[in-house]
Amino acid sequence: MFRPKVIFSLVIVILTMVAWPAAAQDIYANEGFLSGVIHPFLGLDHLLTIFAASLIGMQLGGKAQVSVPLAFLLFFIFGDIIGLLRVPMPWVEPGIALSGILLGLALLMGREVPLSFAQALVGIFALFHGHAHGAEIPMGANPVWYTLGISMGTVAIMLFGGAVAWYLSLIETPKPLLRGLGGIITSLGLLLWLF
């Protein structure tokens, strides 16, 4: 049986154990870890996409609660690595621009989205976002610490999305509220696309 409180607590403990030594090391290693942690929070398009991916997983329920955010995280890290290596990737900017819109629409559609489609959709967009983050590494930052930091920042946003969805699940009819969040994410994505 899936127990969100237990998994959430374990993830927080693991993140704390990893983050403190890394943050202490980062004080002496230029920017790396801390700038990586902060980076996903700086762009509304990135924030919306990561948040939407975690909400989609929670909305689908069952194993999707873990597998959809995990698919996002793994593809994000892969995209970050190829961005760090300066491997060219087509359509990164359009992919990022469309991600909030399409993930918001997937959330708006609700349970009609098949699990494999949800995993593929978040994976493709995570690849674009990861590549952009990797390519934008600050000058002088340690790539390993930066990737660890950016992964931790992404996980923090995903945990927040999962916590929001879990809290809404305590309400008798959370589905309309999650769909409403999907509508808001889609609308903000469209505004970012237009402006």
pLDDT along the chain (195 residues), means of 10: 52 48 43 84 90 90 90 95 94 92 88 85 95 88 90 92 84 80 92 85
Backbone angles phi, psi at 3, to 5 degrees: -120, 100
What pLDDT is stored for residue 127 in this prediction? 96
Query: What pTM was estimated for this model as a whole?
Result: 0.81
